[in-house]
Amino acid sequence: MRVVLWIGSLLSSYIMTPSGFQTFGTPHLIVMGLTLVLPILLSGLARRAGDDRSPATIGYVLAAMLLVNEFTAWGYRLVQFGPEYIVRNHLPLHICGVANLVTAATLIFRNRYTYEIAFFWGLVGSANAVITPGAMDAGFPSWRFFQYFIAHSGIVVAVLYATWGLGMRPTLRGLFRAFIALNAFALFVGIINLLLESNYMYLSRPPWGTVSPFFFAPWPWYIPILDVVALAMFFAVYLPVHLSRRRQAR
């Protein structure tokens, strides 16, 4: 109870005195904590429910949250900036944009192929976006703050819930399928960037104002570096599943 009151007092102070976003500031740290705690709580709730409908219902709610947040953002930007801005900047062609839709589809249909994309693209891409938000200049409690973290933290929460709460598991074969799909999608997005003069997946230039350590090399050399890093991180997020299977086999 004291922890809840402490968090409430901290957030209320930010509401009274809103400021720009601060990486690893109090709201950011709270969001990162919730990103880990929520899937544990929801998965525990699903396991204790004792019926088949409750885990699916929780998944539907998470999927609805992701989709409503995504469509709301599209509508807001369409009204504020117009269709040309949306087409060049906010089509679902970034990794997290695709992962958002694929993760929602996974929670609704429980398809193992969409789950593989959600697991590897979502966990690696969205977890990095949560830890090192690129070009975030809107602090708590702005609309942009909530929209950004519902989108990115929501993917992580939903993928972990699909794994722990719904019992879905990635495979080594699925890891390579997800990596091949990532490169095929990057090739497609690269063509789109040439046609629209856009920067989806940051293939045309590095993101402005990012604090990510992965863009240390100049363009275009950071692209193959990111590809190798992505494969290494795919193996990193798969490793706990692999070790768990080996322990169970023994």
Name the helix (H) or strand (E) containing 165: none
pLDDT value at position 227? 95
Q: Which domain holds residue 194?
A: 38-249
Please determine, for residue 10, whether its predicted confidence score (pLDDT) is greater than 50.
no
- Is residue 6 in a domain? no
- Is residue 139 in a domain? yes
- Is residue 226 in a domain? yes
| Cis peptide bond prior to 220, omega within 30° of 0 | yes
Helix and strand element counts for the chain (H, E): 10, 0
Please determine, for residue 4, whether its predicted confidence score (pLDDT) is greater than 70.
no
SS3 of residue 166 by DSSP:
coil
pLDDT value at position 209? 59
Tens digit of pLDDT for each residue in 51-82?
Answer: 878 999 999 999 999 999 999 999 998 999 99
pLDDT value at position 24? 83
Rounded Cα gap, residues 137 and 72, in angstroms: 20
Give CA angle at 162 (158, 168), nearest 5°.
155
The answer to which of 24-28, 153-157, 209-213 has the lowest mean pLDDT is 209-213
pLDDT value at position 213? 65
- Is residue 12 in a domain? no
Domains contained in the chain, number: 1
